[in-house]
Structure 1
Amino acid sequence: MPSKATLERAASGTCVPSWETVETFIKVTVTKEEEFTATLGLAVDRGRKLWICARRRTRAPYYIHKAPNPDLVSSVADLSRALRHQHIWAGYPTPGEMDRMSGPGELPSSTTRRIIEGDTLPVDPQQALAFLKACYVRDPNDLEPWLAAASRALRRDGASQRDLNRWARAHQKLLAEIQASVKDMLGETPPGEEALAEVLTSKETQAA
């Protein structure tokens, strides 16, 4: 838990503290009523969004005005640049912070640093997803275009069929998760399921 001095410094507004400090500050300042309702979760979510905006304003270069669009990625160079811009848009989380937000061994700090510096790309779909989630891209609907973009870029770069198949399987798995979530929301099999699947897979079909 952050020290009293750290919390006081966070409250002073002289710097953007770590997320751990912000989250603790939110939790220790809520009322008892808020603690046992959904209000606390909403406060934490809003606090995270404000924290990311603050980090972005104080750290991002002047030319980054919006989140990158993975639909515009057509090459490995584009993909590397888009990942770096997403990292900036997320408020420049440090490699250590990103490692802690990921599963064991998913996103080593040394590898993350090389991705951020543009020296390498994620070695596989799992590492790419871990990197994006650590950059606060976590909704499957937002992750899907990134996997499609990676497959498109690697195909153009002449990646091996084995690697392409690996990325395609990860993409199909994510599409299946999206379709399953739609079913869960509706509580039944949607009447237009085949049409939905066709829409969701259209980008991959076009890229093939």
Structure 2
Amino acid sequence: MGRPEKPVDRSVPACAELADFLRALKAEAGLTYERMATATGGAPSKATLERAASGRSVPAWDTVAAYVSLTMTPTTWLVPWDPMRRARSLWICARRAARAPYYLHKAPDPQMVWGVADFSRALRDQHVWAGCPTPGEMQRMAGPGVLPSSTTRRIIQGHILPVDPAQAIAFLTICHARDLLSWIEAGRRALEKDRPHDVGTYAWVKAHKSMLARQAESDDTALADAPEINVA
């Protein structure tokens, strides 16, 4: 089964938890890093897989995903939770612990946005809270032409805002933001305050009104479908 592994580095608890999870999968599958690397054709390599489960740093998500896929067994499929989803959650927590600024203890609140600078910072904080996916990863997840990596890089550097609400929604969805209506409302509020005469501001106003209308329609449908309660 190969030589014993070095103990997990526990300097950053979230990184250690991810490493423990990966090692447990490997042990359950009865694999060595040599066999895992051979199965991938060396990409990721044996050294990369070992480092992913060391706890010393946060591996790339592609490496974690490959690691989990390689260790899946019939027994793994029977567990009442999705190992890949669990790995993703642990990876996000590890990235957040390793990269989040000292002040970021929870997901940003779009209701605290009042201007363009606030909105830009909230987008950047949400990106960190989601584990800092790379611009390339975000481009692939969003689909062709939606979030070009060059544009995404400038958004997370704080140089620009998303070009329109649709791009903002794609960015926020990938970054696991909750309550997209509040985020679009925040963008509308920020732009109306700081860029009232900008032609792009109208798109945010229109998108916000459209989302409000859809929500109202959804609420009306839910009420119409609700069973009647006889209180007599």
With structure 1 as the length reference, what TM-score do the two structures score? 0.75
**CA deviations over 1:129-178 (Å, ceiling 9, x no partner):** 121123222x5xx2121011111111112334853442244335545666
Aligned equivalents of 1:173, 1:10: Cα separation in 2? 44
Equivalent residue, structure 2, for 1:19: 61
Q: Matches of residues 118-137 of structure 1 in structure 2 within 5 Å?
A: 118-137=158-177
Going from structure 1 to structure 2, the CA distance change for 1:8 and 1:125 (only over 3 Å counts) comes to same
Aligned equivalents of 1:192, 1:78: Cα separation in 2? 39
Going from structure 1 to structure 2, the CA distance change for 1:110 and 1:154 (only over 3 Å counts) comes to same
1:158 equivalent among 170, 178, 195: 195
Identity of aligned residues (%): 52
Question: Number of matched residues?
Answer: 183
Q: Runs of 5+ in structure 1 lacking a partner? A: 184-188, 194-208
The answer to whether the 8 A contact 2:76-2:83 is kept is: no
Q: Does 1:67 align with 2:103?
A: no
Q: 2:223 is paired with a residue of what secondary structure?
A: coil
Equivalent residue, structure 2, for 1:201: none
CA RMSD of aligned residues (A): 2.7
CA-CA distance at 1:11 after TM superposition? 2.2
Going from structure 1 to structure 2, the CA distance change for 1:91 and 1:155 (only over 3 Å counts) comes to same
Aligned equivalents of 1:159, 1:174: Cα separation in 2? 20
Equivalent residue, structure 1, for 2:127: 87
Going from structure 1 to structure 2, the CA distance change for 1:106 and 1:74 (only over 3 Å counts) comes to same
Q: Does 1:52 align with 2:89?
A: no
Q: Does 1:191 align with 2:223?
A: yes
CA-CA distance at 1:61 after TM superposition? 1.9
Q: 1:190 is paired with a residue of what secondary structure?
A: helix
Q: Does 1:171 align with 2:171?
A: no
Aligned equivalents of 2:80, 2:121: Cα separation in 1? 38
CA-CA distance at 1:83 after TM superposition? 0.7
Going from structure 1 to structure 2, the CA distance change for 1:31 and 1:174 (only over 3 Å counts) comes to farther
1:143 equivalent among 176, 180, 192: 180
Aligned equivalents of 1:116, 1:4: Cα separation in 2? 30
Q: Does 1:3 align with 2:44?
A: yes
Aligned equivalents of 2:143, 2:100: Cα separation in 1? 27
Aligned equivalents of 1:70, 1:44: Cα separation in 2? 29
Aligned equivalents of 1:154, 1:30: Cα separation in 2? 48
Q: Runs of 5+ in structure 2 lacking a partner? A: 1-39, 226-232
CA-CA distance at 1:181 after TM superposition? 7.3
Equivalent residue, structure 1, for 2:8: none
The answer to whether the 8 A contact 2:92-2:130 is kept is: yes
Aligned equivalents of 2:65, 2:121: Cα separation in 1? 30
With structure 2 as the length reference, what TM-score do the two structures score? 0.68
